Structures are given as C-alpha cells and as structure tokens.
Amino acid sequence: MSLYINLLEEKKHTTFAGEIQKIMRQVNLHIEGVPNPSAIKFVLENGVLTQEEFEFVSYAETGYSPLARRLMMFRYIEGVLIHKNYITLIKSSAPASPEWEEVLPELRQAVISHLSANEPILYLGMKPVAHAKTEDVMATLAQQIMDVYVRPATQEDGGDILVKSLENGELKLTLKGACKGCPYIHETVGKGIVPLMQEHVPDIKKITWE
C-alpha cells in the first residue's frame, strides 16, 4: 500500500476505441540553493509530496520510498529528505564527487519522470522525522520552542533540527537533511537556539548536536 498524495487531479481521456488512458501528470519543479553547499533543494510548485517529513541516509532505508531509492542510485547522492512539497538531496563530499552544476539536469529529470508517471513516493512503515518521545516537561518545552521558532527556518533551508534529549542540563539536538555538515550550524545554534533556550528554558546549560 502506498502512502502519498496525488500531485494533481488525475486526468483521463477516451480514445477512438473507447478505451480510457491516463495522461502523464504535469510536474512543475524548480531548484533552490541552500546554505549547505553539499545540499540542494527541489521544490514542487503544483502539488504535495507528503504531509510528514522523511529522511533516508542509506540505500537500505529506501525500500520504503521508490523515489528516494531512485535518487540514491546516483553514486554521489548519500542522503534524501522528503517533506511537503520539496526534496533535499545531500551530495557526497568525496573528492571524486561531481559539482552540482554537472548533475542537476539528470537529477531533476529523475524526479520529474518519477512524479509525472505517478509512481509511489512512500510506502507505509517508514517512521517520519520527529522529536524524541519524552515525558519530561522541560524537554517538551524545548521541543515546542524548536517547533515554533527554529524548525520553520531550517526546513525552508532544506534541513531540520530536532530535540534528541535533555539530561542534566544538556540539550542534545539531531540534525537532518541540509543541516548536517552545514558550515553555518555553529552560528545557527549559537546565535539562534542558545538565546531562545536561555530565555525560555533556563535549566539548559549546554547544547550539543549530532
């Protein structure tokens, strides 16, 4: 059973023989650069991919997503994040890895071909990206602050930052998508997240991430 939302209302037409044939879907896709030079963002302009966020960091995980599997078959792609109307791709940092300019046409065509043919995007069974479950009041408060003030901006940049745990005054964060390896993560945490937590959750004394 596939778990995905149709991009557009399905169109059909009748042939002279009276047979109903499907018309390929129109897909409007544009590319956006993000702060992390190892990441790129494909934005679907006329549809929704999924309501929740999903990340794939190994080929083995892509059994839950035909679209992610198709993209990770390119040897230089080592991560895929799918959310709402965009796909973030993470390129390998290996010396032999090509520049984005060299491979964007083939990647874009792969996405368009998959969506135009109405192939499944996700299957049931893959867990969406989410904060770690907790019953701690302060950890829950930290999660709410991240949801309101931080995550919308990081998602706009093709990534995400979630709360992993809060123990002994140390808040541990998990980086997703384009936030992994981003050269601006120290600035994001130091100038953005730290002041927020100091203001709203004074029990937090240290913030780390992975």
List the chain domain ranges.
12-116, 137-209
Q: How confident is the model at residue 5 (pLDDT cuts 50, 70, 90)?
A: very low
In this structure, the strands spanning 12-14 and 20-22 are antiparallel
Which class in CATH covers the domain with range 137-209?
Answer: alpha beta
Q: What is the pTM of this model?
A: 0.86
Of all residues in the chain, the percent with pLDDT exceeding 70 is: 89
Question: Tell me, what's the pLDDT at 19?
Answer: 44
- Other CB atoms within 10 Å distance of the CB of residue 40: 23
Mean pLDDT, rounded, for 91-106? 95
Level-2 CATH architecture, domain 12-116: 2-Layer Sandwich (3.30)
CA–CA distance, 147 with 208 (Å, rounded to integer): 18
